[in-house]
Amino acid sequence: MDINSFLTNHKIEITEYTYLIKKIKDCNNYFLLYLDNDEKIRISLDTYIKYSNLKGIDEETYLLFKQEDKYISAYNSCLRKLSIKDFSEKQLLDFLSLKFDLDSKLINKIINNLKQYNLIDDNRYCINRLNYLNNANYSFKTIKNKLLKDGISEEIINANMSLDKDVEFDKALQLANKYSSIIKNKSSYAKKQSIINKLIVNGYNYDIVNDVINQIDLNINNEYELLKKEYSRVYIKYSKKYKDYDLNKHIMSSLLSKGFKMDDIKSIMEVQDAS
């Protein structure tokens, strides 16, 4: 039995009290009952109106009030979360199921009330999240996966998501240029491979990645000068631990891992050995 049907059918004139009501406090969107067992219970305005003249409650009423207290606590928690940012229906269902000891009827009641007051709307959530993820240069594949994880249905996603290839290319190009400016001290080949890997990990397909790589400026004007600079850096690093063959082996391995060509590395090493 829920609290509404109880209020309709239950007699209000309680003569035997299990708990005495010491004080009632108006807390704007609910009323707080102070019981003689030092417990505080929240009740709604409708319930307060029915029971405002009572000095106490019996055990059955107490148990129903406890359920209403749980409902008010959970509902207010949802309101606080929604005051900070938007959430999907599934996200709030998961939140309520994990944090509160509520049965499915109460959880569904909370969700339905939030939807009734337009506080949650999966279509609106989808549109706002799409705008953010597109502006952050996520690929279509990644965006769809994120929205599905948030509990947005494929139907809603497909209705709001544009799959314009030019838009996808522009996002991938922006992301590639960002990576290119961050990746330092690597050969053009290694830098290109790093960018390719990052774009693929971010969900861009091979066709888009290839088109982007063919247009991107890797910002490497003199690769041989870069190799000389890197050689000096790794030489200082490894010469503290190794000598002769072992030193050359570690230098060679480090420079090869950065994508420099073996012949160019050997040429640098020969020049350095001769000096």
Average pLDDT of span 105-129: 95
**pLDDT tens-digit profile of 194-207?**
899 999 999 999 99
Single out the residue of 174, 126, 124, 165 nearest to residue 146, CA to CA: 126
Query: What's 13's domain CATH number?
Result: 1.10.10.10
Query: What is the reported pLDDT for 7?
Result: 45
- Residue 100 and residue 38 share a domain: yes
Helix (H) or strand (E) holding 195: helix 188-201
- What's the number of domains the chain is made of? 4
The mean of the pLDDT values for the chain is 85
Residue 205 DSSP label? -
Element (H, E) at 210: helix 206-215
pLDDT surpassing 60 at residue 58: yes
In angstroms, rounded to a whole number, what is the distance separating the alpha carbons of residues 172 and 139? Answer: 7
Is it the case that residue 150 has pLDDT exceeding 90?
A: yes
Whole-number pLDDT of residue 14: 46
Please give the pLDDT value at position 221: 56
Alpha carbons 81 and 53: distance in angstroms, whole number? 35
Say whether pLDDT at 95 is over 90. yes
Write the pLDDT tens digit of every residue in 220-266. Answer: 556 667 777 788 888 888 888 888 888 888 888 888 887 777 877 77
Instruction: State whether 13 and 88 are in the same domain.
Output: yes
Q: Please write down the long-range contacts of 245-249, taking CB distance under 8 Å and 24 or more positions apart.
A: none
Q: Rounded to a whole number, what is the largest CA-CA distance in the chain? A: 107
Q: Is the same domain home to 156 and 169?
A: no
Rounded to whole angstroms, what are the CA distances from 51 to 12, 24, 44, 56, 127?
7, 11, 11, 9, 45
Each residue of 205-233: pLDDT tens digit? 999 999 998 888 665 556 667 777 788 88
Same domain, 150 and 234: no
Q: Do 136 and 207 belong together in one domain?
A: no
Q: Are residues 14 and 76 in the same domain?
A: yes
Beta bridge partners of 33: 24, 41
Name beta bridge partners: 20: 56
The closest of 233, 220, 209 to 184, measured between CA atoms, is 220
pLDDT in the model for residue 12: 46
CB burial of residue 190 (10 Å; 0-12, 13-18, 19+): middle
Same domain, 11 and 104: yes
Q: Check whether residue 63 and residue 97 sit in a common domain.
A: yes
State the DSSP code for 153. -
Same structural domain, 11 and 112: yes
Whether residues 201 and 269 share a domain: the answer is no
11 pLDDT band, cuts 50/70/90, is very low
What lies within 8 Å, CB to CB, of 142 at 6+ separation is 133, 202, 203
Question: Is the domain of 153 the same as that of 172?
Answer: no
How far apart, in whole angstroms, are the C-alpha atoms of residue 209 and residue 165? 12
Residues 111, 20 within the same domain: yes
274's enclosing H/E stretch is: helix 262-274
Range of the domain at 23: 3-116
